[in-house]
Chains A and B, each alone.
Chain A
């Protein structure tokens, strides 16, 4: 794309690197910034810089945090003996929104996928092993995606933690609440039947 201005070109290049943003959308963003007042541009600049300079990863669970240790890990009310293993920060948000989980988290930072160049060494697995090895943890819940990569990663984590006396579980997979059986895909339904649970009325 010929834009006639080096400055615009540079901005477009930068925006276009964001996920889901192409060259045309990037140009729209740039033009929007040119039209708006300087204050907005400064605010945007600051927010972006602060994301990188002031935000850290929690030294205990790798969640994003503004301090050395995140609010969840610092919260004394939370159950310190249970750890829920998730792929990334967004999964913590999702689980927190349920309001039903009161334990700690551990963020892996991705899933094992050689096709994308991600191996176990790129994930936060060692710190999880150390955490479980140092005692105090009694239960580990694997809350990873239902994809093949998610299952493979869960399998790997399970193997690495096999030596410790822990209660290990994985989140249930099956029919969505409020969904009709008729519209459930056969694979999910089949698995729900195979992994059925006792009904206590």
Chain B
């Protein structure tokens, strides 16, 4: 899958922008605040119907303007598809594919796979377990609609069960028969989620390990563990064991909605014992594994967006990363960097197609391509 061209009107700091991209490496270079990341965000809009950074659509319109338009042509399985996204202040988002408006945006999401790597990903390590569950759930949901359906049903059962626990507490009553049917439903959907998550991790972890070893030159060992809140118990037994606590907290304390991923480096907790660079390498490996996974399930190479990846990485690991994404395993890649010379140097001796775009204050400066590229 390839993004052939992109055109913007009034998007963030771009009054007008038009560019055609090459099928492999595209580098957006320029100083801070010039709008390199905004270009990646525009690509994110085209594939996911929303911004990666700002959930409020209208805040992505240029200051003082009333609308923005993002258009792009994506080539997928040798077919060119025109995408169009427009936001007007106080109006519904308009999203079109080949000039035909979508009835539901959810029909679009997932049909153009993309992986974004940005400095904000560090939350995945530092943040709450909810973010890590969401990481896993969103990857699986992109190719398994049945999983998504189970996830929605399960989330609703948790809400219903919590509401019931609250009622018990308020009325100072308890009815085990009624609770039991919710426990059954929780176990029914929850077990399915656990099975699918386990199958997913069994495939995902080897991909992840391979990327980490490559980037770190096999200096460290890493692992991802699944922390199951059921602790090897039968689902219903775990619910019974947790019941006294659940009744006090009026909240369901065990189940896939409480599970977590354990990130480990050399057998120790990543968050506490790894350096910034090691954490960054870990995140890169996670995202590259996500890429491999989607590529396999969707049977096409997703777009890869790398925002400010040089941040916190040493020269060696950065070079490894660039080598990796230049390999044929990957497809079209978009990279932002503040140092055009560094990028040009890296790609100088590589046989990979590469195009540079110099960005200054929301404008594209004349094309700047290394002589031998």
Using a CB–CB distance below 8 Å, which chain A residues touch chain B? 112-115, 117, 119-120, 148-149, 151-152, 155-156, 159, 185-187, 190
Contacts and interface: CB of A to CB of B under 8 A. Distances in A.
A119 B167 contact: yes
Contact of B146 (A113, A115, A117, A186): A186
B172 to A, nearest CB: 15
B164 interface: yes
Contact of B177 (A120, A148, A152): A120
B181 A187 contact: no
Given A119-B167, A148-B157, A159 B181 contact: yes
A97 to B, nearest CB: 29
10 contacts: A114-B167, A115-B159, A119-B167, A119-B178, A148-B153, A152-B157, A152-B160, A155-B185, A190-B145, A190-B146
Given A119-B178, A148-B185, A159-B181, A114 B145 contact: no
Contacts of A159: 181
Tell me if B's interface is mostly helix, strand, loop or mixed: helix
A42 B25 CA distance: 77
A114 B181 contact: no
Interface string B101-130: 000000000000000000000000000000
B233 interface: no
Contacts of A190: 145-146
A156 B181 contact: yes
Contacts of A149: 160
Given A155-B185, A186-B146, A119 B157 contact: no
A117 B178 CA distance: 13
B167 to A, nearest CB: 6
A148 B156 contact: yes
Interface in B339-369: none
Contact of A115 (B149, B160, B175, B185): B160
9 closest A-B pairs by beta carbon, nearest first, are A114-B163, A114-B164, A186-B145, A187-B149, A115-B163, A148-B153, A156-B181, A114-B160, A148-B156
B269 interface: no
Interface of B: 145-146, 149, 153, 156-157, 159-161, 163-164, 166-167, 175, 177-178, 181-182, 184-185
Contacts, number: 46
A130 to B, nearest CB: 17
B145 A185 contact: yes
Nearest to A149: B160
Given A112-B181, A187-B149, A190-B145, 5 more contacts: A115-B160, A115-B163, A148-B160, A155-B185, A156-B181
Choose among B161, B175, B185 the residue with the greatest number of A CB atoms under 10 Å from its CB: B185
Contact of A155 (B146, B156, B160, B184): B184
Contacts of A117: 167
A185 to B, nearest CB: 7
B175 A152 contact: no
A152 B146 contact: no
Given A119-B175, A186-B145, A187-B145, A113 B185 contact: no
Contacts of B161: 114
A117 B167 CA distance: 8
A156 B178 CA distance: 8
B157 A187 contact: no
Contact of B182 (A152, A185, A186, A187): A152
Contacts of A185: 145
A152 B159 contact: no
A152 B159 CA distance: 14
B185 A152 contact: yes
A171 to B, nearest CB: 19
A186 B144 CA distance: 9
A113 B160 contact: yes
Contacts of A151: 185
Given A113-B160, A114-B163, A115-B160, A155 B153 contact: no
Question: Which of B153, B157, B181, B182 has the most CB atoms of chain A within a 10 A radius of its CB?
Answer: B181
A170 B184 CA distance: 18
A152 B182 CA distance: 7
Nearest to B156: A148
Nearest to B180: A159
Contacts of B177: 120
A3 to B, nearest CB: 29
